[in-house]
A and B are shown apart, each in its own frame.
Chain A
Amino acid sequence: MTRLYTMDKPDDRNRLDAMAQGIIGRPLDRPDGSAKTAGVAPYAAEYVIPECAEGVLVLSTISRGEVVEIESGPVLAMPGVLAVIADPRMITRSAQGGAGKSPVREIQHVDYYGQPVALVVAETFEQARDAATRLRIAYRADDPAKVPLDSEDGHAPHESFGEPVQQGNLDAAMRDAVHAVDVTYTTEGHASAAMEPHASIAEWDGNTLTAHSSLQMLKYNQKELADALGLQPEQVRLIAPYVGGGFGSKLGISAELTAAAVAAIELGRPVRVVMSRQQVFQTVMRRSETRQRIRLAADAEGRLDGFGHEAWVSNLPGEKFAEPVTQASEFLYRGAHRTLRIDLARIHRMTAGSVRAPGEAVGMQCLEAAMDELAIASGIDPVELRLRNIPEQHPSEGLPYSSRRLAECLKIGAERFGWDGSDRRPLPRREGEWWIGTGMATACRVHNLNEAQAKVTLSTDGTAVVESDMTDIGTGTYAILGQIAGEMLGLPPEKVLVQLGDTRYPPGAGSGGSWGAASTGSAVMVACEAIREQLAQQLGVEEADLTLKDGEAITGNRRIPFTELLETDLTETGHFKNGGIDEQFAIAMYGAFFVEVGVNAYTGETRVRRMTGAFGLGRALNAKTATSQCLGGMVWGIGSALTEELVFDPRDGHLVNHDLAEYHVPVNADVPALDVVLVDERDPAGSPLQAKGVGELGICGAAGAIANAIHHACGVRVRSFPITPDKLLDQLPEV
């Protein structure tokens, strides 16, 4: 049976805390850990499939135009080469998250430099790679001088995206303000750079296309691939039990999957296509560069009367995504007079899409740097300034907030870090050649929920199985779904098997927007509640009076092992839906970052010396994996603050730094021992689990704290991220 749960009001029952097993929230090791650390967990490209041919994508070398001719002949004559495929079913771009339909196909029509235009298939990878390098393609290329390649150039058409917020009169508020900040910040493009390159193996049996692929949201991906291939979704099976990181780049299907599928259909044998690292950088997804004007109008006590956040971002023509830079700005701080808007420039660079925490990742870091400028202008402790600007209700929509631990996070984080905000004048301290300073920022990320199903079976042998096409992309899904089921059914975690990443299982929420745990976890809980009711019925008691612990049902003075109680397996499917709870409450996760940096007085190099993050994200379902998610987000904050930027050649739009040597993600030596505090919270509006999202909060504002610490350390305010040494060097004070 399927049990539907629609989240249309807060769930105050707090069922998990009323259970007896005592494993929910505990920092248990991941059940998938021993397979991952032993190297036996299979990722998409690693399945042994007989007769599997190898495909290598070929990318365009023009920014816009048409493919006129593909000179297949010479390549087909090379040893082992089976085919050169340029098929109308192949896609030119990755699908946006949740699209559920094919992205743009028409691969002969080039819209950006690095767009896939062909696939070369051979018996071996070495043969295919060699042939792909030698494939000659004739183009009719548009004059790059006439192609808008940069959102800052005058040719790029702009459009307003989404619904702007225009409330009161911000200009007047700025004029009347005692303290006003009107600043423009910029951020550069980012790459997800998941460690596992996009990879797929496709098999076609004449009716069904089966693919092992590295994907985050299988239920959408199944529809996307079916649509691209002209099949019904039921004719597509996707398998992804282990995904080597996603960070948004695997939300939608990418070019390698459709290419492998088309090749498998055409050749009648399995085909594997793995993108090279350079191809991942060039064709998958970028986070848009942004330009953000932030206006803050405050009274003498620093209370905001006016709040403006206007962003300019870019994407390819036709794409329905714009980096939602102002997402948290809509509700985070006070200000009766508000202007929020996003302008989207249409340019011919690779697709812009979701990269970890789309919107807040770059919006919060600039807002929080601007808030630091206001703190300095008003002489108010930056922590106090933020405390004074926590609104009582949503400043535009009038909604109440659900549980919100921002003030606690600010206070707990400050205490833990040893924050002293009484004197924020720069250049407080120098140690040898290093200027030392501190900074802080608020963390904020909206809470999302998504429809999800999960099947739970309690077996006569006293074990349980959880099944969903939900993925674990490093987030800890295997651990937390097992803990939820174990808690609800009274089983130790080793008695619960969690099976994920196969479209043969019920459709989960997918991993995206930090919604996976709260949504799919709720589906698991709902299924378990239905099983509990069946057990209660068998025992002739109310479900609420039933205690399940360590594989036994306990009621009154009876204690019966499941192995005796169950005559048949009990199977239930939980179906969770968001019934508009987010229209009744402003629901979000909050936190605070505190950081100490050293800025080299001679080179301008910045080193993060210590960093604390305090987070209120609802119930943590597993304290260990939740902490790890926060740690990872903070590492991304370090990258966003100091090193990460996609650099495009202004002449032809090609991505210059398309590998891990030139696009600088933080390495171990860039990251100090990070300190994460999970502030205790239950949010009945977040989910029936009273949990909210975890995976993205840790990045949302972190880079702002680092920028503020740099200013405190050396007195230089850089409004252009990343803050590389060249931007500091000519402004550093004399030593």
Chain B
Amino acid sequence: MPITINGAEYELDVDPRTSLLDFLRRDAGLTGTKKGCDHGQCGACTVLLNGQRINSCLTLAVMHDGDSVTTIEGLGTPDAPHPLQAAFVRHDGYQCGYCTPGQICSAKAMLDEIAAGWTSFVSDDVAGTPKLSEEEIRERMSGNLCRCGAYSNIVAAISEVAEAQA
């Protein structure tokens, strides 16, 4: 079965050593997903795999027969941005822009996780329903490094979108 990326189907006829990240960047030509460490340490390669966030450098492309992947290009475009993309621009939630697609994909999935009731290390009651807060956002976005140090603005951007959705 092919892999579906942003709604389009791609054949997985690749070297079995190819990571999902390299497949996206090279074979699918979607370089919005970034390679920052190739070891699952920085989050720049975060994409949505069947709706959930994943470090695409930590999984092999051939393992994803039949899966559906959404990358930053699938969330929105410069002319028709996703609300998170627009909020990152407004709040200057980036500087060099290299971690940014990963941050935005991660934020998208993270908000869905909170909506689905997943608790985190900072949730008051792990058996309860998590409340959206800046502390929750910081905790849940900590797998996405930003060396430019735009964290305050990233939190502001995500908070704005989350509040608009609520």
Please list the residues of chain A having a beta carbon within 8 angstroms of any beta carbon in chain B: 29-30, 32-43, 45-46, 48, 124-127, 130, 192-197, 242-247, 274, 276-277, 473-476, 624-625, 627-629, 631-636, 659-661, 665-674
**Within residues 25 to 58 of chain B, which ones have a CB less than 8 A from any CB in chain A?**
25-26, 29-39, 41-42, 44
Assess whether B147 is interfacial by the CB under 8 Å rule: yes
Interface centre among B33, B44, B92 (most CB of A within 10 A): B92
Residues of A within 8 A of B154 (CB): 668
Contacts of B37 in A (CB 8 A): 197, 277, 659-660
User: Which partner residue on chain B sits nearest A242 by CB separation?
Assistant: B97
Known contacts A196-B96, A631-B149, A660-B37; decide if A39 and B101 are in contact (CB<8 Å).
Answer: yes
Could you tell me the distance between the alpha carbons of A661 and B145 in the complex, rounded to whole angstroms? 11
Determine if B72 is an interface residue (Cβ-Cβ < 8 Å).
Answer: yes
The answer to whether B147 and A124 have CB atoms under 8 Å apart is no
Q: A196-B36, A197-B36, A276-B38 are in contact. Are A634 and B155 (CB under 8 A)?
A: no
B160 in contact (CB, < 8 A): no
Q: Does B161 contact A (CB under 8 A)?
A: no
In the bound complex, do residue A29 and residue B90 qualify as a contact, i.e. CB atoms below 8 Å apart?
yes
- When the two chains form their complex, are residues A660 and B145 in contact, meaning their CB atoms are under 8 A apart? yes
Bound complex: CA A41 to CA B100 (Å): 11
Q: Given A34-B78, A38-B73, verify A195-B25 contact (CB < 8 Å).
A: no
The distance in angstroms between the C-alpha atoms of A670 and B88, with both chains bound, is 20
Decide if B10 is an interface residue (CB 8 Å cutoff): no
**Interface: B81 (CB within 8 A):** yes
Q: Mark B64-95, 1 if CB is under 8 A from A, else 0.
A: 00000001110011100100011011101011
When chains A and B are docked, how far (Å) is the Cα of A274 from the Cα of B25? 13
Given contacts A39-B73, A46-B31, A674-B152, contact A195 B142 (CB under 8 A): no
Q: Chain B residues near A277 (CB, 8 Å)? A: 36-39, 41-42
B109 within 8 Å of A (CB atoms): no
Kindly identify which residue among B71, B148, B155 contacts A474, using a CB–CB cutoff of 8 Å: B148
B124 to chain A, nearest CB (A): 15
Does more than half of chain B's interface fall in helix, strand or loop, or is it mixed? loop
Closest residue of chain B to A637, judged by CB? B149
A-B contacts, CB under 8 A, total: 189
Contacting pair A194 B29 (CB below 8 A): no
Q: Are A631 and B89 in contact (CB under 8 A)?
A: no
Taking a contact as CB atoms under 8 Å apart, the answer to whether A671 and B138 are in contact is yes
Q: A244-B34, A671-B151 are in contact. Are A37 and B96 (CB under 8 A)?
A: no
Beta-carbon nearest neighbor of A676 in chain B: B152
Is A659 a contact of B151 with CB atoms below 8 Å? Answer: no
Q: In the complex, what distance in Å separates the CA atom of A170 from the CA atom of B73? A: 63
Given contacts A130-B17, A195-B96, A661-B39, contact A38 B149 (CB under 8 A): no
Q: Does B15 contact A (CB under 8 A)?
A: yes
Q: Which of B115-151 contact A (CB under 8 A)?
A: 134, 137-139, 141-151
Is B4 in the interface zone, CB < 8 Å from A?
no
Can you show 14 pairs from A to B with CB atoms below 8 A apart? A30-B92, A33-B88, A34-B89, A37-B81, A43-B34, A43-B98, A46-B31, A195-B42, A197-B37, A244-B34, A628-B153, A668-B139, A669-B142, A671-B152
